[in-house]
Structure formats: C-alpha cells, structure tokens
Structure 1
Amino acid sequence: MTQIPPADHGVPAADDAGGIDGRLPQGGAEADDRDHEVTSDIVTTSVLVIGAGAAGARVAIELAESGLEPLVVGKRDYGDAHTTWAAGGINAALGSLDPEDDWPIHAADTLNEGHHLNDPEAVELTTKHMPDRIRELDEWGLSFARTDDGAINQRYFGAQSYRRTCFVGDRTGEAMLETLIDRAKALEIPYRENVMITRLLSDGTRVDGAVGFDMETGEGLLFRTNHVVLAAGGFSAAYQRHSSRDDENNGDAQALALEAGARLLDTEFVQFHPTGMVGERYGEEWDGRLVTEAVRGEGGRLYNADGERFMERYSPDQMELDARDVVARAIAAEIREGRGTEHGGVYLDISHRDSKYIRERLPTMVDRFEKLGVDITAEPMEVGPTAHYTMGGVDIDFRTGETGVDGLYAVGEAVAGVHGANRLGGNSLAETVAIGKLVGEHVSEQVTAADHEPTITDGQRALAEREFAALAELAAADGDATPETLLEELGDLLWTHAGILRNEDGLREGLDHLEDLRARTADLQIDGDRTSRSFEYAVDLSMSLTVAEVLLRTALERTESRGAHYRTDFPETDPDWRQNLIVSADERGLSIRRRGVAEPSEPVREALEEGYALDYHHLE
C-alpha cells in the first residue's frame, strides 16, 4: 500500500465534527465575508438523488415505483443532463440481426475491452439485464430504430463481436433521457433544478444528508436524509480537450464521496475517444466535441493528410472499429509523426455511403456539420482524440450501490467497475439503466418509517454551518487569480501530463504543477455573488483539484500499460498488474492499495475461450 502524507496531497484532514474540512478554495486572506453570509433552508427527504441524468432518473423511478418519494437534484434544468450527448446507442444482446449473440458474449466483449480489470459481477449484471431494460424503454415510448420486420434495429460498434447497439439515429442518449424524464414526471417525482451540492454530511462511516446552494438565488441548502445516491457523472471535463458539456463532469461525485469516507477505484483510466472535433478547423467552442462512434459503426473511414487509410497499419482486422484506446493512440501517432492535417487532426470520411442512408442514420452529425459549412455526405470531417469518459470512480457493490459508508450509494459514470481499463462503446447508457434499477430496488428496501422524518443532530448542524461559512468566505474572495484561469491551467496540466501518453517524469511534474495551482487558490477572485458563473467555477475547481491529484497519483502508481492507461516508460501489459487500485483518504492523507480482480462465471469464461470477434469486412 502506498501512503501519501497530508503535506503532499489535496484532500484535507478530518475535522472534529466528522468528514473532511477545508476542501473549498478559501479566497484571499483579506476577504471580508460580513456581506456574504449564507441564508439557508432545510429540506427533508427519505432519499436524495444527486444527479439528474439517466442513472439518477432510473434510480428515482425505481424508488417511486416502490412507493417512495425521492428528491432528485441537478445542476441544470430538468431533462438537461450530460446523458443527452451520448449519441451512438445502447448495448443489449437482443439478437435482432445476429441471433447468435447472447449476454455471455456481450460480457466477454466488455471484459476484453476492459483488459480484464472489470468487476465480473458488475459486467454480468449489466449484460444479463440489458435486454429487459431495452424492452422496458421500448414500452415506455423510446422510439428505437426498427428493422423492416419491426424488430429493434442494432448497429456495429467498435470491439463488439455482433451488432448489438440499439439506437435512435445519432441522438440515442437524448431520446433515452426524454423517455426516462417523461416516466419520472408521470410518477410525480420531485425535482430541484440548479442545485449544486458542495459537501455530504458524514462522519466517515455514515452519511446523514448534504449541503449545497441554489445556483439561481445563492441560498444555502441543507438536505436532511438518511440515504444519498450519488449519480453526478465522471471527471473527464477536467481535461483541456474533452467531449463533455461545459461545466459538467468536473469530478463532483468522486470528490464528494472521497471526502465522505468512501473509496475511489481505478481513477487512472480515462478514455480518450478517437473522434472529437478539431477546434482549429471548426472553432474553439467545438474543440473536442464528440463525433459519435456511430459514424465509424456505419462504415466511416479514417485517413491521414497523405490520403492513407492508416488503420491498416495499426489494426488490419478490425480497422476503424477496433477498441477506442487503440484507435485513439493510432490517431495520436499519425499526428505526432507529421501525417496529421494542418489543423492538427485526421480525416473521418463516410461519403462513400449513400447520401440518403447517411442522413437517415446520422441526422445530428449531418445537421451539425452543415451548419459549419461541411456536407459529410460528400466530404470528410476533421477529428482528433478527446477526453471522453472516466472508467474510474467510486468503489461500490454493484448489487446494491453501497459504498461502504452507511447511507451512501453511487451509480452511473460516478462509479468504477463495469468498464475496467477501457469502456466498450454503447455500454455507458447500458450501465445507467441496468445498475440504476438494481440500486433503486436495494435502496427502497433500506428505507424505514423513521427515514421519512429524519432529525438533525448538533454535529450535523455544526458541519453544515462550517460549510456555509466556507461558501461565504469563498464568495467574498477578492484576490488576483480567477477560477476560470485556474481551471484552464488544470485542463492543460492534465492533457500534457496525464493524457493519452504518460511517463513517470511527466506525472511527477504534473503533481508539482498541481501543488502550485492549489496554492494559488488562496488568492482567488470571485466576480459576482453566489449566483455567478465565477462562483460556480470556483466550486468546480475545488472538486477537480481533488480528483486530479488522485488521477495523477494512481497513474504514477500503475507501472504498466493497460487499456486507456499508456505509460511510454512501461509500454507492456504486466500480468502481475491485473489488480485494481483503491484510493481512500483520512487524516493521514491519501492511501493507495491494490486489490485482486475476481474471475467471471463459467458461461462468460466459455465465451472468452470461444474467442468471438467482429468481422469488420461485413461493412466493406
């Protein structure tokens, strides 16, 4: 086990009321908070769900169908969550086009893509339950594409043995979230928009609620509950170039969980999607924006600036539909070796397919690029790798969502385990509904009559008041460093030192720079009050700094290359490193330890031994 002493890390020590105090940047030393006191409101609920994307919605639906009335809170408007950007599809072994497909083969593909660091039980729970979850979504009104005979259509996705990705054109996530929100509204599930949670009320062993603020009014909020479900996404937006929506996926869930006493798992594994838009060509606001894998799934081809279809060199059998980490590194290599475009990308071309087919299957991509003056039915797009998804996250029991902290559960991209070292495309949406239902079932069984009217102890109130005081001090900060500037520098730091290619010197340099950034948070300047973007960015910064350090330290600890984690100083996969890295925090600092990976069940082992694989040339 690696122990990092308190002086070297960014997770503060436990305070006398429990939890970890002082994570929020404190602003300038001369800040006067007399005019910035936080008025607060107490909200009581039997279950608080933090995060309003697909995972949070599916948990809440299950709770409501069990007779409970959970409260869902989100940072944005209802139905406006990052799920809407998951475009290409959702996996389930339905066998609509390939009847030989089955859940053990889906599980084997998931394990292979995850380089066998996945939690086999999590994988099997997801792949077993997904056919039922697809049929459920279909019954709830999700308008899946259909085959000529009326079955739910399925397309190829990278590294999958069969066509198992169900889809709604190239807006699957948006359509799925709309369906889940409609279901939630029909069940009259309460929801509070524009709420940011900044701390969980925890003594390190159990959670008794949460503290945050209303982003529209600045009012402080104390949520009193005995059951909290974290469904607030991942942390890929901490990177300078990413596919996440602005100001989301900042590491909220992971930082809150670690601070509350939960463990993080495999945070070194960040997936770089091969095809993000190139900002120098399309404008800074489009830099890194995802070009869905569905483009390659429908036959899109990658070319370098010399007109070479370069995946023939890197993956002659699976070509553009090899694993995302393989394709992303191939693109990065082409650019690094001088065969990229003048704008720093490569070309993705689907113009060889019929124009009508492209417009039918990829309407969002067609529309987006047409608005930028590019007709993708006739000319290529310029793309390059972008930080897309975090396989690491909170360590949970996948049958229950339990985190090891009593009363605290987690689900969705907030957690780790299903995807291992690299995520199979189409499995992110699958995990949200498959595991979300199971977590909702378990939490509903834990709620007792007493949980409907939870009380507030003196310790909880004191911890909440300290958090409100920290928020007031932050709002009054009048230093010289803006949160926006520090977030940009953090993004550059991670892209440079913990990007697609990593090594010891770079990771250590990144940690040194991170300490410098953290020190500069003492001189923050907040432009506006607690309703301002500046204040929001400052809170985002506090979350991202915590998770960035965990990421850098686990990437330094794992001295091998596996999946999305590629060390140029340790380029081979080491069988002895088939272990997960577990991170915890206490008054002594961050601890990193290893944990062995369990073996899959017999049906999945048989599927692995059978060696199923995509025959790419079906697309030719």
Structure 2
Amino acid sequence: MTESSTRHPMTGNEMSGESAGGMERHQYDVVVVGAGGAGLRAAIAAHESGARTAIVCKSLLGKAHTVMAEGGIAAAMGNRWPEDNWEVHFRDTMRGGKMLNNWRMAQLHAQEAPERVMELEDWGALFDRTDDGLISQRDFGGHKYARLAHVGDRTGLEMIRTLQQRAVALGIDVFMELTVTDLMKDPSTGSGQAGRIAGAFGYWRESGRFVLFEAPSVILATGGIGKSFKVTSNSWEYTGDGHALAMRAGASLINMEFVQFHPTGMVWPPSVKGLLVTESVRGDGGILKNSEGKRFMFDYIPEFFKAETADTVEEADRWYDDKKNNRRPPELLPRDEVARAINSEIKAGRGTPHGGIYLDIASRRMPEFIRKRLPSMYHQFKELADVDITAEPMEIGPTCHYVMGGVEVDADTQESAVTGLYAVGECSGGMHGSNRLGGNSLGDLLVFGKRAGEAATAYASSLGDNRPRVDEADVKAAERSALAPFEVEGGENPYTIQSDLQQSMNDLVGIIRTAAELEESLTEVEAFKVRAKSMKVEGHRQYNPGWHLAIDLRNMLIVSECIAKAALAREESRGGHTRDDFPGPNAEWGTKNLVVNLNAEGTGVDLHEKPLPVMPDELKKYFEEKS
C-alpha cells in the first residue's frame, strides 16, 4: 500500500497515512487501548521510556469512566495516622479480598501507591489539605486507617485532568472515538514468533472507516463489564471490550465470578437508577437506616471484623467525634458486607418506597460541611432527584459497580499469556481477589499503569528488526466480521438483545445467586448468542449507534458467559460472590482461582481451576499477628 505522510490532528506528530480510498494505517511501538487512569498512566510511562506511543479511546479524551471515581486514592502516606504503612495497607487489601488476591500485586500496590500520588501532585493535581498542609486522607470501608488522598468527592476527575494534561504536553498521539474490534497476531511459525501481538484493528465511530495499528505491544486498559447488567453505575463504554479482546487473542481471565455490587447507588428517579453515590458519604459520617428508622448495620457485623468494628451506636459515634477510638462504624465494613446487608433489609420488607434504604448524612453533619466535602453528591441529588442531602436522607441501593476478574497477568509486568499483550486496571485480574476495597482502584490504575507502560516498552525495544508482522488475511477477516450485521436480512435489533441480556444478568447472576438460576442464565446466554448471529443493522456506517452496539454486544455475551460459568462452579460464598445454596466460605475454595478461556471453536468458554500463588513467609506474618 502506498502511504502518504500525514499529521495527527491533536499533536501534529507525523504519522503513517493511507492510499486514496484505502485503509488508514499507523505504526507504533506501544498502543494503549483506553484513556482512563490506567491507560493514560501506561501511555505516559511508555512515552517516557522512549516508545512511539498511541492512545486509542472509545469516547472523547477526558470522558473516561475514571472521572466517576469520587472518594480518593488509597495510599499509606501516614498524613493523618503516622502508624499507617504499606504493610497495614497490604493486610487490609488481602483481607478485603478474602485472601484470594494475587499477593504480589497487593504488595506492589501498597508499596508504590504513595509515590504515585506524590507524582500526581508534582504534575499539578490539587489535593485537599490537612491543617498542617499535607495531602488530606479520608476514611473508607475496609481500611484500618484514613488513607484516601482526595479532592472533595471529585478525585477521579482531578486525576484524569492531571494525567490528560501530562499526556497532551508530552505530545502522545490520541485517537478519540475509535473502537478496537480485534487484536492482530503474527502468523509466522519460525523463530518462535507465532502468536505474538502484531497490532490492533478498529474503526472510527464517526465515519465507520477502518484503522489498523501495527505495534508489537498492546496495552488493554478498557475498564469493566457493567453494561451487561440492567442496574449499574458504569458508563456506556463498559462492555467488556478488553476482556473479550484478550480472550479472542488467546489470553485467560481469572476471578470472573467476583462482581462488586456497590452498596450505594441512586434508586430514584428511574432515569438515574444505579448512578453511584460515593462511599465518601459514609466515610464522612453518613449512616444507613431502614424504613423503620433503625440503623441496621450493627446486625450484620461478621465475626471476621468484630475486633475492629464498633458494635454499639455510642461507640461508633465516639469514633466519628474524635477519631481516637479505632473501632470503626459498621457502615465502613468492606463493600461486599454492606451490599449484602442492604439487600437483606430490602428483601425483608424494610426498604424505602422506591426499593432501597436510606443513607443519612444530614442528621450527622452541618450543611456547610456537606457542601464542602461532598459537592458532587449535593448537586447530583439536587439536580437529578430534587433531594437536598443537607436536609434529608438519600434513597440508595446496591448497583453493579466493578468486576474483580480480568485478564490473568504477570504481577510485575502486567503481561498476559500472549506475548506483547498487557492488561491493566479493571480489565486485569488478581489484584483485588474476591472483593475490592474502596480507593484501591485509583491506586491500582497508577501503580500498574506505570509498570505496564515500562514493561511494554522494554519488550518492544528488545525486538530490534525482529518485529511481528500483521497478516493481511487477518485484516480482511476483521473487516468482514465488523461488517457482518449489515449483511443480515430481516434480523433482530441489537438493542432488544442487549436489554434482554441485562435483565437476565440482573435477575439470575446478581448479588445473590443459586445453582438453578445460574444454570438458567447460561441457557439464556446461549440463546442470546444464537439471536446475536442474526443481528440486523440498518443504515450506513456513518454515525450508526446500532452498529456500535452490535459489535459491543459480542463482547458482552462473552464476559457474561464467563461470569455465570465461574459463579456456577464456585460452590461457596466469598467477597463479591454470594451463593444462597452455599452461604459460607469454604477453605478448599480459598486456595484456588477459576480460570476461563475461549474454547477451541471460539464459540464458548472453557473453565479450569488453578492454585493460588504461594505467599512468602515474610508476608504471612501480617495475618498471624493480632492487630
């Protein structure tokens, strides 16, 4: 193909071009798919390590779902509690994940998060301050000490602003509103090259025109899977793209049964059902009440947390008043515990008129405190629900929020089983075990984004002239696959299939699960897959949201099957996975992960068990001591 020299529309950098009427092509060392916190941090690290780097994002730059992370970045900086350190943060993370975490990832995260926060500040992030000028840190569920560095309740927004400004200042190429549909691999069978990543294929969402990125390193930073569920806090981009792309390329996923239902999402009005209500409301004093006015969380304190959790109202209130009593209010238990308690109250008939429970900070804090510490929440409820949270309680309920499962990666480099393919952030698995602590997500993005960017660059640099090549036959196959919905005669609307899938996942693979319902969900997923083969897209490729959804739906069906199949296999309750027919944790299940791969035919999911990585003795001691 004859190429002409073109320049990137944002940065002005010279790029490879295209022949008249041909496919757009670009060559890079590292291509990052996703422009949230993980993708931006990975791209910055790759660029600063010397790689020709591109960021490809499905939405507009700055619109990533990371902006919805409100509470803060968990990092043991010791600004409020000098006793805090990485060892305590490591222990909290492992215990929050019910010891199913990849211990090495939890260790690296706890050790490196403080430096990543300070780095953000060096790049211009404006954090809230303590009285003596240090970065302020707030309390969050599951953390022994107040350790979340924050900017009011807009921390994710400030993080994206800072990283985006850094990436643009460095001149990193950004391809906005471009969806990646396939990963390209080297077809060569010589010199051990077969199966290496060779690039990524996608299309401009505006024009429908295809784009090929040739690169030996691809970093997936595409976020989660929440749009497979009817009630979710996730934005429209979260259709499991990275999970599915990795599986189709030959990588495996772990921990997919563990889906976190955030305890507090809006339940009214219906147009915003599921929209996140930050944990900061509880961290700053908010309490949970049922329709009878009872502060019910005291009835749901697990034995595992009794030593650290206040078991009387008076004890909890004293903690809020002086922060010297380290027995914490039960509203700050890990998210899985709080979500199950709320769900139990609603099922017992003690819910609110709109099917939730009450979250009350108005009776606990002065209006000026609430408006200062929780400005986004104040405006969100005022504008969307006509509720003044400084004067009345909020109606909230559990919402699908985060998937702990993702691409199985090396802890130090974030590389998958496919050479040249890396995954970071919510689309990678292992760091959070069976349940993620609030605030650990933003730290995860920063710590492992940097590591992935550096590792991907090191690999690309090591290749010299032995770079993988893209097979033109694979490119043509990717084109045919993407255009297939246009060829169907009299098929079904993809929106109908998506709606039915979301309802099925909500009803059958939700916060409380049973074998019978999970088996039913798998049967329904198979039926959805049959229906998806005859999806019909009307119109042209330009400005065609139906086509976009048809492509996204393929990914949603893969990840939905992974979740249901793993949930059926794990016959216990642990973290974000609750089985009504196996109500407690099982010690045997606590020693292994469930791993899923695409089957040989590419039509379904295979599952097998894998032992947990063995934690070294020097780290085991943190769980043997009483604290």
Q: TM-score if structure 2 supplies the norm length?
A: 0.88
Superposition pairs for residues 312-461 of structure 1, below 5 Å? Answer: 312-315=298-301, 317=311, 318-351=329-362, 352-371=364-383, 372-448=385-461, 456-457=469-470, 460-461=471-472
Match of 2:571 among 553, 559, 563: 559
Partner of 2:116: 133
Partner of 2:500: 489
Superposition pairs for residues 597-608 of structure 1, below 5 Å? Answer: 597-602=612-617, 604-608=619-623
Q: Residue 251 of structure 1: CA displacement?
A: 0.6
Partner of 1:522: 533
Higher relative contact order (CA 8 A, sep 6+): 1
Q: How far apart, CA to CA, are the structure 2 residues paired with 1:149 and 1:455? A: 54
Partner of 1:25: none
1:524-567 superposed Cα distances (whole Å, 9 cap, x missing partner)? 22133233111111111010001111111111111111111011
Match of 2:50 among 67, 70, 78: 67
Q: Say whether the 8 Å CA contact 1:198–1:211 is kept in structure 2.
A: yes
Q: Say whether the 8 Å CA contact 1:561–1:571 is kept in structure 2.
A: yes
Identity, % of aligned positions: 42
Q: How far apart, CA to CA, are the structure 2 residues paired with 1:452 and 1:243? A: 45
| AA partner of residue 270 (structure 2) | G
Match of 2:605 among 583, 590, 609: 590
Superposition pairs for residues 166-185 of structure 1, below 5 Å? Answer: 166-185=149-168
Superposition pairs for residues 106-185 of structure 1, below 5 Å? Answer: 106-185=89-168
Q: Say whether the 8 Å CA contact 1:239–1:387 is kept in structure 2.
A: yes
Superposition pairs for residues 288-327 of structure 1, below 5 Å? Answer: 288-315=274-301, 317=311, 318-327=329-338
1:176-222 superposed Cα distances (whole Å, 9 cap, x missing partner)? 01100111111111110011011111368321111111101110111
Partner of 1:548: 560
Partner of 1:27: none
Q: SS of 1:387's equivalent? A: strand
Residue 271 (1) aligns with residue 271 (2): no
Q: SS of 2:389's equivalent? A: coil
1:6-33 superposed Cα distances (whole Å, 9 cap, x missing partner)? xxxxxxxxxxxxxxxxxxxxxxxxxxxx
Q: Residue 602 of structure 1: CA displacement?
A: 4.7
Q: SS of 1:523's equivalent? A: coil
Q: SS of 1:201's equivalent? A: strand
Superposition pairs for residues 4-15 of structure 1, below 5 Å? Answer: none
Q: SS of 2:624's equivalent? A: helix
Q: 1:452 to 1:40 in 2, by over 3 A?
A: farther
Partner of 1:98: 81
1:41-64 superposed Cα distances (whole Å, 9 cap, x missing partner)? 222111111111110111110111
Q: How far apart, CA to CA, are the structure 2 residues paired with 1:559 and 1:52? A: 37
Q: How far apart, CA to CA, are the structure 1 residues paired with 2:118 and 2:616? A: 25
| AA partner of residue 510 (structure 1) | S
Q: How far apart, CA to CA, are the structure 2 residues paired with 1:62 and 1:557? A: 39
Q: How far apart, CA to CA, are the structure 1 residues paired with 2:490 and 2:345? A: 43
Q: How far apart, CA to CA, are the structure 1 residues paired with 2:283 and 2:42? A: 30
Q: Residue 128 of structure 1: CA displacement?
A: 0.2
Q: SS of 2:152's equivalent? A: coil
**For this pair of structures, how many residues does the alignment match?**
569
Q: Say whether the 8 Å CA contact 1:107–1:604 is kept in structure 2.
A: no
Q: Residue 449 of structure 1: CA displacement?
A: 7.8
Q: Say whether the 8 Å CA contact 2:561–2:605 is kept in structure 1.
A: no
Q: SS of 2:606's equivalent? A: strand
Match of 1:283 among 247, 261, 270: 270
Q: How far apart, CA to CA, are the structure 2 residues paired with 1:524 and 1:481? A: 5
Q: How far apart, CA to CA, are the structure 1 residues paired with 2:437 and 2:484? A: 44
Q: How far apart, CA to CA, are the structure 1 residues paired with 2:544 and 2:98? A: 43
Q: How far apart, CA to CA, are the structure 1 residues paired with 2:477 and 2:433? A: 38
Match of 1:539 among 551, 566, 589: 551
Q: Say whether the 8 Å CA contact 2:197–2:468 is kept in structure 1.
A: no
Q: Residue 472 of structure 1: CA displacement?
A: 2.1
Q: How far apart, CA to CA, are the structure 1 residues paired with 2:424 and 2:468? A: 26
Q: 1:489 to 1:521 in 2, by over 3 A?
A: same
Greater alpha carbon shift after TM alignment, 299-308 vs 595-604: 595-604
Q: How far apart, CA to CA, are the structure 2 residues paired with 1:452 and 1:540? A: 35
Unpaired segments ≥5 residues, structure 2: 1-20, 188-193, 302-309, 312-328
Residue 577 (1) aligns with residue 563 (2): no
| AA partner of residue 282 (structure 1) | P
1:460-508 superposed Cα distances (whole Å, 9 cap, x missing partner)? 1101101101222223434342111111111111111111111110000
Q: SS of 1:575's equivalent? A: coil
| AA partner of residue 424 (structure 1) | L
